[in-house]
Amino acid sequence: MGDSTQNILICGIGGQGVVLAGKIISHAAFESGMDIKTSEVHGMSQRGGSVSTHIRFGKKIFSPLIPKNGATAILSFDIYETLRYSDKFANINTIIVSSNDGKTPAWTSKTKNGTIKNNFTDIYSIASVLKDNFKSLTLLDDKLIAENLGNIKVSNIILIGALSVFTHIKEEIWLKTIETNVPEKTIDLNINAFMKGRDSL
């Protein structure tokens, strides 16, 4: 956990593209010539469960897992998961880039008298809790930006673009990495989305 080591945690819901985002970010870090380790989740959790990918890069990395409260940055595709993982991995200095939207866990439902099971926290109060706790918090309306670009699927790339500002990785490496990791037909769209995210801050 030397000073120069970056610990990036990506979180979201299984099937949302957390693994692909992890690939792009780790690829970019690797291209920059740093030692790197990542840890991914496969299998059961990919079925809509809460998932995370750990990425650590720097001079020399041993553990592929980020220690408790040790994330330098968190990238999240769902605001509920932002809260869940911030609680465990963030500290007050952690940079958080998150979607401002979230998906209620599917099985959560009402009881017969109309009240909601669980002491449920809605996305607006989650946003205010996050604002109270973190100096560097970015909540992006990634879905809206993506829609304006004409494809809701690039919302992840927009968030990666926003996160990229906080890394020491050069812009050209990011762009090259995106080129090699997305389908050829969508390269322009994804590059566009990345730059939109990067310029949004």
Partner 1 sequence: MLLLFLSVKYAFIYYNSLVFPLFFYSSYLILLYKIYNANNKYGLNFLLNKTSDYSKLLLTGNEAIALGGAKAGVYTAVGYPGTPSSEILPYLSKLNSSAIVNWSINEKTALEIAIGTSIGYKRAMFTTKHVGLNVASDPLMTLALTGVRGGLVVVTADDPGMHSSQNEQDNRLYSKFAKIPMLEPSDSQECLDFTSKAFDVSEEFDTPVILRTTTRISHSRSVAVFSGKFPPAEELENTKNIYRKDIEKFVMVPVYARKRHKTALERLKRLIDFSNGSGLNSIEYNDKEFGIITSGISYQYAKEIAPFASFLKLSFSYPLPDLLIKDFVKNVKDIVIIEELEPFIQNEIASFGIELKGKEYFPQDGEFNPDIVLSGLQKAGFFNGKKHIAKENDADKDFRISLRNTLPPRFPALCSGCPHTSVFYALKKLKVPVMGDIGCYTLGALPPLNAMDSCISMGLAFGAAQGLSLTKSSHKKTVGILGDSTFFHSGITSLIDAKYNNAKFTAIILDNSTTAMTGGQDHPGTGKNLSSNQLISNKIDIKKIIEGIGIEEIFVIDPYDYNDTFKTLKKALDSNNLNAVITDRPCVLYPKKIDTGRKFKISDGCTGCDLCMQTGCPSIRLPYEKNGAVNPVPFIDSSCIGCSICRDICVFNFIEEISQS
Give the footprint of partner 1 on residues 90-109 (CB under 8 A): 90-93, 103-109
Containing 168, the helix (H) or strand (E) segment is none
Which 137-196 residues touch partner 1, going by CB under 8 A?
152, 172, 176, 179-181, 183-184
Stretch that binds partner 1, among 120-128, 161-169, 188-196 (CB under 8 A): 120-128
Among 25, 73, 74, 83, binds partner 1 (CB under 8 A): 83
Task: Find the shortest distance in angstroms from Cβ 121 to partner 1.
Answer: 6
d(CA 126, CA 123): 5
Cα(189)–Cα(131) distance, integer angstroms = 31
**Taking the complex as a whole, how short is the minimal distance between the CB of residue 77 and partner 1, in angstroms?**
12
Cβ-in-10-Å burial (0-12, 13-18, 19+) of 59 comes to exposed
Chain residues 14-33 in contact with partner 1, contact rule CB under 8 A: 14-15, 19-20, 23, 26-27, 30-31, 33
Single residue of 61, 75, 137, 149 touching partner 1 by CB under 8 A: 61
Query: Count of residues binding partner 1 (CB under 8 A)?
Result: 80
SS3 content of the chain, % helix, strand, coil (to 5): 45, 20, 35
Which residues does 56 contact at the CB level (< 8 Å), separation at least 6?
Answer: 5, 6, 7, 8, 36, 37, 38, 63, 64, 66
Instruction: Please select the residue that binds partner 1; options are 80, 166, 174, 194, rule is CB under 8 A.
Output: 80
Q: Which is nearer to partner 1, 14 or 161 (CB)?
A: 14
Q: Which of 9, 36, 75, 189 binds partner 1 (CB under 8 A)?
A: 36
∠ Cα 68 35 135 (to 5°): 40
Stretch that binds partner 1, among 39-47, 159-167, 191-199 (CB under 8 A): 39-47
**Nearest-approach distance from CB 174 to partner 1, in angstroms:** 13
Give the bridge partners for 53, in sequence order.
Answer: 10
CB of 43 to partner 1, least distance (A): 3
Q: How far apart are CA 30 and CA 196, in angstroms?
A: 24
Helix (H) or strand (E) segment spanning residue 139 = strand 136-140
Q: Which of 123, 146, 159, 195 binds partner 1 (CB under 8 A)?
A: 123
